């Protein structure tokens, strides 16, 4: 008998030895195999029939390991197959995401004041394939795939058992904590800070798991968790020691009660409202039971994948978990009051607040199952805001409003909800649902609300233009927009082609101005008297576009949009002599000038 020593990288326990011995033993010519994970080598015994080197390498890689001497692995893989699997995995995940979107499962919502066990079960079924999948499902997917990757020799049942215990603990834990909610009510409600911390922690775990599973970073793949041990233990992610603890799986399942899923919190509100330990336990237990099929499906999928398809499967799972992790990091940052550009979501055009008779700034928003509309507002600093929210889906994921900077954390009821606050500093005030998934922003701007010109028109809307520096009189040249519209999309010509003086028509106590807008306002220069109301009517020949959409003058408190095909009517009362330049809403394109005598 002759011997061949084969160095092998990536082994970490006795299970690895057993798997490799079984896989290499199938190579033609091999009589005996002894693998030592501590030495990082396999010793093959053979007779006259010498085993093929290529077959040995193939067997080692099919088992999930690599040929080579151990040591510090590189940060990036040099194996083209890893990147090919990553690309294919990204395409698969993209296809699954588009299919998921077409099903519209995220759009589920219900409106009932009496949540029965059947309703709680139904909500759980929907949550299991929507928001819970993004948080709890992503975490379980990463853990289960990582466990299966590290223990390819385990049977399908051995890989599946941790998921069974996890879900048993989840249902039991939800019932237990639900009974506490029924007894003690809102005292047990977690704070926004705690929810943000948990979301960020879980997001970080997912990102790390995802990168490891993709296989493109051998150094990270071989390393352990880099989170603080206390967080790892809390999430059931302590360093692997050969077999998961069933008790740990039970506890981890129960602790997911505190992860900030919108559907979960809807059920928690009902549990609080029951005032009964039995009813609270029933509502939460049935909800958790509804999420079991989806979560067990993840466990079942990862437990049966093995062999040559495993690397592609793990790469695909890695991409999905990585995206889940990045999403949750963005959600956690939103819950903490931050809105970095990397995770910024699309917002509607900023809606200006209206001032009511009490002097408060009033903004209106609709909350539906898929988020908020509109979700961007402009208000002035130091002036009370009355935020009126009409909730159309009070038991969906978006029905919890959180604005940490203003100490706002409120559950929405069906119909109109009013939240009042007074912004004291200019800048962006982000808000989101309690999961950080659906978001919006208040743009707080400085304003001279006490000035004479502002007081003359208290009901004038506060526009997005107030957030931008005041316009300079008669900007020359192409400005920032450029002569043809340029980078800011001004359109319609950056500056008036010529100045045309118009006549003022006196009607009763109103000074009337009339112009047309044929890509350029004409006439665009008028002289009016101070102290008398002005009504300037502009009729557009075609639908405005780009910066030509409206008119702005901060000194006169004017900010209006074109109302094509109806004429635009600009109303103001000048109180002091001077020259007042009207620009586009961005303050960059001159639309006209009013001389006040």
pLDDT per position as a tens digit, 447-465: 643 333 333 333 333 333 3
CATH architecture assignment, domain 2-67: 2-Layer Sandwich (3.30)
How far apart CA 6 and CA 183 sit, in angstroms, is 63
Cα of 49 vs its chain's centroid, Å: 60
pLDDT in tens, 206-233: 787 778 778 788 777 665 443 444 444 4
CB-CB contact of 481 with 588 (8 Å)? yes
How far apart CA 585 and CA 551 sit, in angstroms, is 6
How far apart CA 332 and CA 436 sit, in angstroms, is 6
pTM beyond cutoff 0.85 = no
Give the residue from 477, 506, 508 showing the smallest Cα distance to 494: 477
| DSSP-H helix ranges across 364-498 | 452-455
How far apart CA 366 and CA 401 sit, in angstroms, is 12
CB-CB contact of 539 with 517 (8 Å)? yes
Question: Which pLDDT value is given to residue 523?
Answer: 92
How far apart CA 547 and CA 489 sit, in angstroms, is 7
How far apart CA 291 and CA 302 sit, in angstroms, is 18
351-445 adopts what CATH topology?
Immunoglobulin-like (2.60.40)
Q: Point out the residues of the chain with pLDDT beneath 50.
A: 105-113, 187-188, 224-244, 341-342, 448-496
Cα of 297 vs its chain's centroid, Å: 25
Q: Strands 354-355 and 351-352, how do they pair? A: unpaired
How far apart CA 421 and CA 497 sit, in angstroms, is 46
Residue 435 burial (CB count, 10 A): 27
In the chain, CATH 3.30.70.100 sits at 2-67
In the chain, CATH 2.60.40.420 sits at 351-445, 473-596
Q: Computed from CA positions of residues 159, 160, 165, 170, in that sequence, does the dihedral angle turn out positive or negative? A: positive
The torsion angles phi and psi of 570, rounded to 5 degrees, stand at -105, 120
Residue 150 burial (CB count, 10 A): 16
Q: Please state which CATH number belongs to domain 473-596.
A: 2.60.40.420
Question: How distant, in Å, are the alpha carbons of 129, 504, 530 from that of 292?
Answer: 10, 74, 72
């Amino acid at each position: 008998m002759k011997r061949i020593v084969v160095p092998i990288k990536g082994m970490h326990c006795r299970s690895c030895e057993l798997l490799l011995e079984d896989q290499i033993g199938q190579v033609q010519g091999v009589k005996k195999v002894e693998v030592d994970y501590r030495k990082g080598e396999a010793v093959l015994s053979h007779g006259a029939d010498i085993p093929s080197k290529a077959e040995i390498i193939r067997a080692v890689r099919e088992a999930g390991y690599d040929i080579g001497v151990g040591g510090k692995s590189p940060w990036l893989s040099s194996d083209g197959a890893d990147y090919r699997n990553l690309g294919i995995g990204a395409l698969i995940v993209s296809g699954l995401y588009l299919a998921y979107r077409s099903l519209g499962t995220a759009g589920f919502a219900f409106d009932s004041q009496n949540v029965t066990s059947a309703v709680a079960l139904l909500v759980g079924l929907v949550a299991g394939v929507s928001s819970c999948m993004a948080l709890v499902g992503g975490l379980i997917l990463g853990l289960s795939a990582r466990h299966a990757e590290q223990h390819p020799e385990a049977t399908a049942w051995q890989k599946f058992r941790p998921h069974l215990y996890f879900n048993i603990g989840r249902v039991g834990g939800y019932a237990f904590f639900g009974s506490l909610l029924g007894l003690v009510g809102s005292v047990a409600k977690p704070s926004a800070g705690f929810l943000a911390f948990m979301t960020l922690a879980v997001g970080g775990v997912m990102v790390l798991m995802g990168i490891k599973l993709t296989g493109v970073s051998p150094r990270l793949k071989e390393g352990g968790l880099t989170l603080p041990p206390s967080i790892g233990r809390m999430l059931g992610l302590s360093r692997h020691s050969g077999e998961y603890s069933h008790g740990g799986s039970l506890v981890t399942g129960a602790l997911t009660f505190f992860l900030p899923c919108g559907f979960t919190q809807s059920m928690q509100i009902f549990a609080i409202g029951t005032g009964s330990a039995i009813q609270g336990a029933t509502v939460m237990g049935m909800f958790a039971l509804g999420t079991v099929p989806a979560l067990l499906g993840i466990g079942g999928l990862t437990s049966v994948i093995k062999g040559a398809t495993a690397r592609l499967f793990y790469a695909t799972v890695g991409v999905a978990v990585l995206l889940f992790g990045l999403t949750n990091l963005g959600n956690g940052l939103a819950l903490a009051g931050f809105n970095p550009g990397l995770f910024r979501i699309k917002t509607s055009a900023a809606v200006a607040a209206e001032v009511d008779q009490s002097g408060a700034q009033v903004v209106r928003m609709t909350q539906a199952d898929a988020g908020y509309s509109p979700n961007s507002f402009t208000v002035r600093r130091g002036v009370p805001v009355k935020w009126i929210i009409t909730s159309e889906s009070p038991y969906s994921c978006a029905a919890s409003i959180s604005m940490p900077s203003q100490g706002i954390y409120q559950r929405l009821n069906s119909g109109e909800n009013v939240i009042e606050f007074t912004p004291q500093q200019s800048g962006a005030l982000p808000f989101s649902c309690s999961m950080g998934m659906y978001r919006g922003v208040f743009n707080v701007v400085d304003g001279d609300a006490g000035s004479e010109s502002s007081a003359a028109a208290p009901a004038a809307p506060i526009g997005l233009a107030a957030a931008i520096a005041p316009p300079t009189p008669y900007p020359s040249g192409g400005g920032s927009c450029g002569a043809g519209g340029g980078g800011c999309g001004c359109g319609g010509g950056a500056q008036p082609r010529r100045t045309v003086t118009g006549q003022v028509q006196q009607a009763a106590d109103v000074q009337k101005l009339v112009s047309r807008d044929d890509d350029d306002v004409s006439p665009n220069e008028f002289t009016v008297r101070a102290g008398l109301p002005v009504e300037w009517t502009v009729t557009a020949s075609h639908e405005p576009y780009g910066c030509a959409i409206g008119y702005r003058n901060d000194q006169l408190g004017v900010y209006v949009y074109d109302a094509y095909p109806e004429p635009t009517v600009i109303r103001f009362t000048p109180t002091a002599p001077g020259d007042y330049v009207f620009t586009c809403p961005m303050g960059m394109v001159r639309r006209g000038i009013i001389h006040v005598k």
